[in-house]
Chains A and B, each alone.
Chain A
Amino acid sequence: MSPWLAAARAVGAEIAARHADDVDLRARFPAEAVTGLRDRQLLGLLVPSTEGGAGAGIADVVSICHELGRYCASTAMVYAMHQIQVACIVRHAGHNPWQRAFLRRLADGQLLLASATSEAGAAGDVRSSICALDEKRGRFTLVKQAPVISYGEESDAILVTARRTAQSPPSDQVIVVVPRSGVELQPQETWNTLGMRGTCSRGYRLTAEGEMSQVIPVPYADVSAQTMLPVSHLVWGALWLGIATDALGRARAFVRAEAKKRPGETPLGAARLAVAVNELQTMKSNLLACLRLYEAAIGSVDGPSAISLAVAMNNLKLGSSQSVVKIVGEAMLICGLAGYRNDSPFSLGRHLRDAHSAAVMVSNDRISANNATLALALRDDLEPLA
């Protein structure tokens, strides 16, 4: 186990787990766990060593999200969303001196990054913007109606998407890094949801200003296709796997306790447990296969094409968001009333509520519709199996 993963496990087991129910109950930011991650230098993990970071890769972040997801899904989601933003800057900052200096600040100060891609009026279509950068003499201003910015108030900087200019069509977007000193957040919508309550994803009228060098120097279309979309689905898939793993862990403990009470008899829940273990194995295999695919895509020019990568990552999202709900539901049936109670060691209510966010967080129907379009362009997979 890498020292990073060991540190994340310690934060998960010793801090996040202890506060998870309170974070959920009060829909409050998991401040203790995030401080723990910050203290252990886990926020700047992806920053290259040339900028003073640990130079870790996506696989490290994926395994940390999985680990955290076992203890507190909100903490895991905050960490996941932060790392998605970091990955975008690391991969696309190029030689832009402002961006490189920002990465250094991020590593030094273990800054927490949030995201404002969704926009009121554009609904959940993050590949289309209404707001636009207003550029004057090398500086910009920007006003965005952001219906959901997770932990916006606790963050140190926000990545915001917008149309490139006031004349640009909705699909011609850029993404800009705005430190909190350049952002004003006027609260508009509260966050009182079924699950993922600790992400504190409130809505705001966001006003931002800064210098043009804060704009990531490649089009958002590329940032999205090459990094934001695949990394999101990998880290989300990992933390959903963490939720499912913990739920099945509880179910397994329940079944084993039953078996010990009546030696020689196979408990009723064992057969269901076996089926759920199979589903969990599929979920994990899919995640690992997609992780390898993504690593191949960033590592070589012969990697998967943009289209096959997008379809694979979309399928990962669709599949794991459904599997996590299914597995937690199975765990609930296995534990019965003990799982349904909110005050038993086998409680699964929080898992189930958190799991249901997966299909909504970028609507599965929207992703399926995108896949339907991409299916028209997808080529036969001629890759040898081994």
Chain B
Amino acid sequence: MSSPLKVRIRTVLKNAGSLQNGVDALPDDADLHAAGLTSHATVSLMLALEEMFDIEFPDRLLGRLTFSSIDAIARALIEIGVQDEAA
């Protein structure tokens, strides 16, 4: 069972990730870049995550690695103080 945080990340990813084959079938550790997340879509995803969680990613977390999987996004969000709980 996905954590509440990851459920919320999936919601954002569905709207902003522009992934051809959707998000539902992707495991939390699936490589999002291999699933078709382009660099352009990464920026949209980042902005949508900032809006959803009311945070700002620091410069050092703006690399490709941060957005490489749902797990990686969750780790980054927790690192900058987001709580793993439902909205």
Contacts and interface: CB of A to CB of B under 8 A. Distances in A.
Contact of A306 (B20, B33, B63): B63
Nearest to B31: A172
A318 B86 CA distance: 45
Interface string A267-309: 0000000000000000000000000000000000000011110
Nearest to B20: A169
A222 B36 contact: no
A172 B62 contact: no
Residue with the greatest number of chain A CB neighbours at <10 A, chosen from B36, B40, B59, B60: B59
A158 B74 CA distance: 40
Nearest to A379: B59
Contact of B36 (A169, A374, A379): A169
Contact of B62 (A222, A306, A370): A306
23 contacts: A168-B34, A169-B34, A170-B36, A171-B36, A171-B37, A172-B34, A172-B36, A221-B33, A221-B39, A225-B39, A225-B64, A305-B60, A305-B63, A306-B63, A306-B64, A307-B59, A373-B39, A373-B40, A373-B43, A374-B43, A376-B47, A377-B43, A379-B58
Interface in A313-370: 370
Interface residues of B, number: 18
A379 B43 CA distance: 13
Interface in B40-85: 40, 43, 46-47, 58-60, 62-64
Contacts of B62: 305-307, 377, 379
B11 interface: no
A225 B20 CA distance: 23
Task: Report whether over half of chain B's contact residues are helix, strand or loop; otherwise say mixed.
Answer: loop
Contacts of A305: 59-60, 62-63
B7 interface: no
Interface of A: 127-128, 164, 168-172, 219, 221-222, 225, 305-308, 370, 373-374, 376-377, 379
A171 B40 CA distance: 10
Contacts of B47: 376-377
A127 B38 contact: yes
B35 interface: yes
B64 to A, nearest CB: 6
A308 B59 contact: yes
B19 to A, nearest CB: 8
Interface string B17-29: 0001000000000
Contacts of A170: 36
Given A169-B20, A171-B39, A305-B63, 8 more contacts: A128-B38, A171-B36, A172-B33, A172-B36, A221-B33, A225-B39, A305-B60, A307-B59
